[in-house]
Amino acid sequence: MKTVFEEYRCLYEIERSKFYGFIFHVAQEEEFKNKLKEIKKELPKATHYCYAYVLENKQKSNDDGEPGGTAGMPILETIKNNDLVNVGVVVVRFFGGIKLGAGGLVRAYSHTTNLACKGAHIQEVSDIPTYELRFAYNLINVLDQELKDVDIIEKRFEEEVIYRIATSDQEISKRVINATNGQVQIKDLGCAKFVSR
């Protein structure tokens, strides 16, 4: 899954119309609505605020007064063509006095969205299995050596040592048990989302 975490803005001008593209991260519909309000407040005199967003379980587009299917759907299709999820795009149009026609509008909204997608810092997000390891203090060096190629997300030092790790290595449980002669409690915490480095 690919997404953006930082907002990116762009401008596309054609036939005196200005199209401002905004791309940003959203995880929920409510977040998108709040961002749309912010953009409308920032650019209050625009002619249209067309948009689309793609969440993990929902997608939506809106032409905001442009002829049906000429704005929201091209924005949505461009987001999907870039394989992006949890992303919102708003294209704000200031009408320049020259009509672009249906085909011209589709191209303008698609192009602006594409500029936003290409300019944004896109990151890969993966679901990676995570585990909790509990063990005695005398096993720290053994486990640190065994886990040198594994992401240790958290280390806690209480009555016993607790590591939280993330790895796609399906043999990790066997490796850890073998390295410590079975003196580690391993709990599968399920998958968590991580940004690829």
For 156-174, how does the pLDDT look when each residue is reduced to its tens digit (9 = 90+)?
A: 999 999 999 999 888 999 9
- Can you give the pTM of this predicted structure? 0.76
| 184, 139 Cβ separation under 8 angstroms | yes
For residue 193, the model assigns a pLDDT of 77
> In the chain, pLDDT over 70 holds for what percent of residues?
99
Give the C-alpha separation, 46 to 56, whole Å.
30
Residue 180 has pLDDT above 60, yes or no: yes
The domains of the chain are located at 2-120, 126-195
For residue 196, the model assigns a pLDDT of 63
3-state class of 3 per DSSP? Answer: strand
CATH number for domain 2-120, candidates 3.40.50.720, 3.30.230.30, 3.40.50.620, 3.40.50.150: 3.30.230.30
Q: Provide the CATH number for the domain formed by 126-195 in this structure.
A: 3.30.70.240
For 113-131, how does the pLDDT look when each residue is reduced to its tens digit (9 = 90+)?
A: 999 999 999 998 888 899 9
